[in-house]
Chain A
Amino acid sequence: MIYSDKVMDHFANPRNVGTIPDADGVGQVGNPVCGDMMAFYIKVKDDKLADIKFQTFGCGAAIAVSSMVSEMALGKSLAEAMAITNEKVAEELGGLPKNKMHCSNLGADALHKAIEDFERKSVPGAAAAPSAAPDSGHDDHDEECACPYCEGPVEGLDDVCACRHCEIDLVECPSCGNYTNKADAACVSCGAKVAG
């Protein structure tokens, strides 16, 4: 098996699946174009995560990671939840295949985004701040220098970029400007032809 028993258990019986219509915070990362998309919804009471729900579009690892993150964070204080790292999630799952490690990034990131959304909303007078509510668009590339596959940091500049997590070389798509796998013929974001 490519996955540990723990991963398969969380994939087969994911904990805390769903949405919270009146969530205190919502965090979403990834998009279906990249292969993984996660949305986390949280309810906060007395600085603790009273409820967590998630939805995930993605592979077995992505679903298991979301489930594990929700389980690890439920009932914890916001500070404790913010301290959950990608490594800890992967460790709790009994390890992930090397090429699936990027999934664990997404899980913790989505949770942290939901907490940040809550904190932004709880600042008085910040109601007009842009919300991190889910949308169906592919506009999650606003953060500069993010790997389109794992949303992790991109190393290097211009045409010698690489994502250390995915172990791939990246180039900027001449059409949409997003990063895409250098070895691919077409851009992962817009499908435009990338001159090899």
Chain B
Amino acid sequence: MQRIYLDRIAAAPLCPEALEAMLPFLRESYANPQSLHRDGQVVLEAVETAREGVARLIGAEASEIVFTASGSEANNLAVKGLALASRVKGTHLVVSAVEHPSVLNAARALEKLGFSTTVVPVDGQGRIDPDAVAKALTPKTILASVMLANSEVGTIEPVAEIAALCRARGVLVHTDAVAAAGSIPVDVAALGVDALSLAGAPFYGPKGAAALWLRKGTRVLPLVDGGVQEGGRRAGTENVAGLAGFGRAAEIARERLDARAARESALRDRLIDGVLGAFDRVVLTGPRAPRLPYHASFCVEFVEGEALLLSLDMKGIAVSSGSACSSKSLKASHVLLAMGLDHALAQGSLVFSLLEGTTAEEIDSVIAAFGPIIDRLRKMSPTYTEFLKEKRS
């Protein structure tokens, strides 16, 4: 059976160009980029080329890029590193309720060190209100962290507005752009932030290669102390092959950004229109616009998300769910709950995230497969039976 992979928010395939860029550093070019000999210098050049590629994708300078091993690490370095470096100025942080766990839990970890956090709520579309962020600022606030786009519901946040309000109050702003960078235009100057996290995997780079962009002159306390790598901001021998692939994927993403986004958003709309048009009591989570071009997410009433996920999987379709039962921790998605979704409805969460190679035929077969799956699970759902009974009476 031909598989249809619509789980880009979990992992995307490596593009051939990135793979090619990686191979020399898994084979003959094994030297340490910090070595002064010729072998090392060749490898260092590759790391710096990658740094330039990543910097260009977000309109930054190469020297402002700190490579990390994951988006989570970049978020941790931003939240903890910026807060700890600014501790003398204050100990208060502001984050949104829909941030990635690597931001929320980093803030929570800082609370044990004497920091306090204000979590700003979102509206029913998952959107952060810039005024709510401004209201949360205190004289002790040193950092606000708000994501650029949400991977669970596709919402694109008004980061530039938030950053302007925060910077006017002398508060540093970090944005987690892991779900956004490489898929929508990201320009650090236009956003007006001080720090930005991105990872290569969502735009067809390898896993294990990510970066934190830090505005020139921004002080950060390293999470990993050691040698001089990454300008002393992140010690440890570089993941050269990964970085080479990350850099190349960033170059390709920059070249094809508009073409990819146009294609993906057309297919996304085909999927959203198809699903909402064909099935009753299925809601789109997050807004129609502005929305990540590759992202369509729904909640199906009266059924549970893991059961939907498994049923689609049996039909060869790979997706994600934010339901409690599909998570190892058995917790419902904090994003859906923050949006005010009813707990029962949040259980029916399903996220389709499209790839560059996704076709209209694939989208149509997903919609065709989805109907019988919803019907089958609803037929065995006591809450649906109850709903039908109430409807009749």
Quick check: A57 and B306 within 8 Å, CB to CB?
no
Task: Given the known inter-chain contacts A35-B330, A36-B325, A55-B385, please indicate yes or no for A63 contacting B379, CB distance below 8 A.
Answer: no
A136 interface neighbour in B119, B334, B386, Cβ under 8 Å: B386
Determine how close the nearest CB of chain B comes to the CB of A138; give it in whole angstroms. 9
Task: State in angstroms the CA–CA spacing of A37 and B329 once bound together.
Answer: 19
B314 touches A12 (CB 8 A): yes
Roughly how many angstroms separate A129 CA and B8 CA in the complex, as a whole number?
54
A28 & B332 in contact (Cβ 8 Å cutoff): no
Nearest B residue to A7 via CB reads B310
Could you say which residues of chain B place their CB within 8 Å of the CB of A57? 302-304, 347, 381-384
Contacts A55-B380, A99-B330; is A33 near B385 (CB within 8 Å)? no
Q: What chain A residues lie within 8 Å of B331 (beta carbons)?
A: 181, 183-184
Instruction: Decide: A59 and B323 in contact? CB cutoff 8 A.
Output: yes
CA gap between A3 and B307 in the complex, in Å = 12
Give which listed residue, B302, B325, B386, contacts A35 with CB less than 8 A: B325
Structural contact, B380 and A59, CB atoms closer than 8 A: no
| Interface status of A191 (Cβ within 8 A of chain B) | yes
Q: Does A11 contact B (CB under 8 A)?
A: yes
Of residues 29 through 78 on chain A, the ones whose CB sits less than 8 Å from some CB of chain B are 31-39, 54-63
Band of interface residues on B: 20 to 34
Q: Within the assembled complex, what's the spacing in Å between the Cα atoms of A34 and B306?
A: 14
In the complex, the answer to whether A33 meets B307 with C-beta atoms within 8 Å is no
**With the chains together, A12 CA to B119 CA distance in Å?**
42
Residues of B within 8 A of A31 (CB): 344
Cα A31 to Cα B310 with chains together (Å): 21
Query: CB-CB < 8 A to A63: which residues of B?
Result: 307, 380
Say yes or no for B326: interface residue by CB 8 A criterion.
yes
CB–CB B323/A35 < 8 A: yes
A23 CB, nearest partner CB in chain B, Å: 13
Residue in chain A with minimal CB distance to B324: A35
B382 engages A17 (CB within 8 Å): no
Task: For the complex, give the distance between the alpha carbons of A178 and B361 in Å.
Answer: 48
Q: Is A161 an interface residue (CB 8 A)?
A: no
CB < 8 Å neighbour of B332 from A35, A61, A136, A183: A35
A166 within 8 A of B: yes
How far in angstroms is the closest Cβ of chain A from B390?
Answer: 8
Is the beta-carbon distance between B379 and A17 smaller than 8 angstroms? Answer: yes
* B334-A185 in contact (CB<8A): yes
A32-B343, A191-B337 known; A17-B380 Cβ under 8 A: yes
Whether B382 pairs with A35 at a CB distance below 8 angstroms is: no
In the complex the two chains form, what is the Cα distance from A61 to B326 in whole Å?
10
Is A58 touching B325 in the complex (CB atoms < 8 A)? yes
Is residue A152 within 8 Å, beta carbon to beta carbon, of the partner chain?
no
Interface residues of B in 330-349 (CB under 8 A from A): 330-332, 334, 337, 343-344, 347
B330, A39: Cβ atoms closer than 8 Å = no
B contact residues around A33 at 8 Å (CB) = 343-344
- List residues of chain A with CB within 8 A of the CB of B382: 28, 37-39, 55-57, 134
Q: How far is A181 from B331 in the complex, measured between Cα atoms in Å?
A: 9
Docked-complex contact A59 and B343, CB < 8 angstroms = no
How distant is the Cα of A184 from the Cα of B324 in the complex, in angstroms? 12
Interface assignment of B27: CB less than 8 Å from any CB of chain A: no
Chain A nearest Cβ from B350, distance in angstroms:
13
Which residues of chain B in 344-393 are interfacial with respect to chain A, using CB atoms and an 8 Å cutoff? 344, 347, 379-386, 390
Which of A3, A36, A57, A136 has the most B CB atoms < 10 Å from its CB? A57
Quick check: is B37 within 8 A (CB to CB) of the other chain?
no
Distance in Å: Cβ of B258 to nearest Cβ of chain A? 39
CB pair B380–A35 under 8 Å, yes or no, is: no
Q: Is A188 an interface residue (CB 8 A)?
A: yes
- The reply on A14 being an interface residue by CB < 8 A is yes
B328 at the interface (CB under 8 A from A): yes
A35 CA to B347 CA, complexed, in Å: 6
Does A85 belong to the interface (CB within 8 Å)? no
Contact A136 B383, CB 8 Å, known A35-B330, A35-B332, A59-B326: yes
Contact pick for A60, options B307, B332, B390, CB 8 Å: B307
Which of B119, B303, B325, B383 gathers the greatest number of chain A CB atoms within 10 Å?
B325
Would A19 and B385 be within 8 Å (CB), given that A12-B314, A57-B303 are in contact?
yes
- Chain B residue numbers with a CB within 8 Å of A136 are 383, 386, 390
Residues of chain A within 8 A of B330, CB atoms compared: 35, 99, 149, 166, 168
What are 10 A-B pairs at a CB distance below 8 A?
Answer: A31-B344, A32-B343, A37-B382, A57-B347, A57-B382, A58-B325, A59-B306, A63-B380, A183-B331, A188-B343
Ranked nearest first, the 6 interchain pairs of A and B with the lowest CB-CB distance are A59-B325, A32-B344, A59-B306, A55-B382, A33-B343, A39-B382
* B binding-site residues for A, Cβ under 8 Å: 108, 119, 302-304, 306-307, 310, 314, 323-326, 328-332, 334, 337, 343-344, 347, 379-386, 390
Residues of chain A whose beta carbon lies under 8 Å from any beta carbon of chain B: 3, 8, 11-12, 14, 17-19, 28, 31-39, 54-63, 99-100, 134-136, 149, 166, 168, 181, 183-186, 188, 191, 196
